[in-house]
Amino acid sequence: MTESPRKNILLTNLSLLTGFPLFTPLPDFATKTTGNMTNKLLLPAIVVVAAVALYGVQSYFPNLLSMVKFALMKDGRENRVLQYVKDHAQRGNPNEVMKSIDTFGWNEEWLMNVGDDKGEVLTNAVVQKQPKNALEIGAYCGYSAVRIASILPEDGHLTSIDISSSNVAIATQMIDYAGLSNKVDFTVGTVTTTLKDYVKQHNLAPFDFIFIDHAKEHYLSDFRYLLKEGLVAKNTVIVADNIFFPGAPDYRAFVNAHPQHFKTVEYERKLEYSKMSDMVTVTELLDDWNGVEM
């Protein structure tokens, strides 16, 4: 029986984090020891593995503790990265704003925005599509909004939606500092509860470009809602982040299961501000399918 690719990716990432080869089977003597020999070997083995793990964490992923802290609590780093940008980037210069955020993410505190490595995939997709009416789902601190808005065509516009009012407040200031306020509108809410009314209120056409980077468990349900409500159309391009980690396997399975409706290219890159594996997908709608499976 073969192991699933998702399990292999998880084990690979754990191996990279700990420095311990999780794919390597234990030697025979370790599985055959019994009684006192097992007890004598157990504690030293635990100490060795712990030491190797700590060394691996420190050398391979110095941002791990910052990442764990981020996951456990809202610690205000979004305000700190905004101030860092104001201290280090020239106002009105989107490239310097992004560079400062990347520097902060690598050297100060881990951030959950798309980052510099995967950000290249996003940039290339925007440049190729040249969207007029783009949507971002998940604003966070405004990094990806700056990346998208800075390369939109002259008549292009970005709508960014986030469930967190504090995220929207930070992202709005970040976009203003980058000099792109005329290209981006932020709104607080979710795709399934507020976006449709927002689109009607602002008389927006179906979105021709979408960047998905919010709660991974909502990727598929929100995407299917966009299809059902006609908020996307033929040739719309959807870029989705964090397909491997934390992971959106149901979304990935859905777009790959319908090649008659979607053309998807997968890009394996590094998780933001780390050396862990991750994936970004770029999907193009080939028709006006409403997402209802017969």
pLDDT per residue as tens digits for the range 42-65: 665 665 565 555 555 545 555 555
At residue 197, what are phi and psi to the nearest 5 degrees?
-65, -40
Alpha helices in 19-142 (DSSP H): 28-32, 35-60, 64-72, 77-88, 94-107, 115-129
Alpha carbon distance 115, 102 (integer Å): 6
pLDDT per residue as tens digits for the range 190-249: 999 999 999 999 999 899 999 999 999 999 999 999 999 999 999 999 999 999 999 999
pLDDT per residue as tens digits for the range 236-282: 999 999 999 999 999 999 999 999 999 999 999 999 999 999 999 99
User: Which band of pLDDT confidence, cut at 50, 70 and 90, is reported for residue 23?
Assistant: very low
At residue 39, what are phi and psi to the nearest 5 degrees?
-65, -40
| One-letter amino acid of 11 | L
Question: Which stretch of DSSP H or E encloses residue 56?
Answer: helix 35-60
| Eight-class DSSP state of 248 | -
Alpha carbon distance 134, 184 (integer Å): 9
Q: What is the pLDDT of residue 53?
A: 58
Q: What share of the chain is helix, strand, coil (3-state, %, to 5)?
A: 55, 15, 30
pLDDT top residue among 186 and 57: 186
Q: What is the pLDDT of residue 31?
A: 42
Q: What is the pLDDT of residue 119?
A: 98
Are the CB atoms for 183 and 152 separated by under 8 Å?
yes
Alpha carbon distance 91, 278 (integer Å): 32
Report the catalytic residues: 213, 216, 241-242, 272
pLDDT per residue as tens digits for the range 75-122: 789 999 999 999 999 999 999 999 999 999 999 999 999 999 999 999
Q: Around Cβ 128, how many Cβ atoms within 10 Å?
A: 11
Alpha carbon distance 86, 97 (integer Å): 8
Domains by residue range for the chain, with CATH: 5-60 (no CATH), 77-285 (3.40.50.150)
Task: Enumerate the β-bridge partners of residue 187.
Answer: 161
Q: Model's pTM, two decimal places?
A: 0.79
Alpha carbon distance 291, 294 (integer Å): 9
Alpha carbon distance 147, 36 (integer Å): 60
**Chain-wide mean pLDDT for the chain?**
85
**Region 6-35 average pLDDT:** 44
Alpha carbon distance 133, 291 (integer Å): 21
Give me the sheet containing 157-162, strands edge to edge.
Answer: 184-188, 157-162, 133-137, 207-212, 232-240, 277-285, 262-270
Task: Enumerate the β-bridge partners of residue 157.
Answer: 133
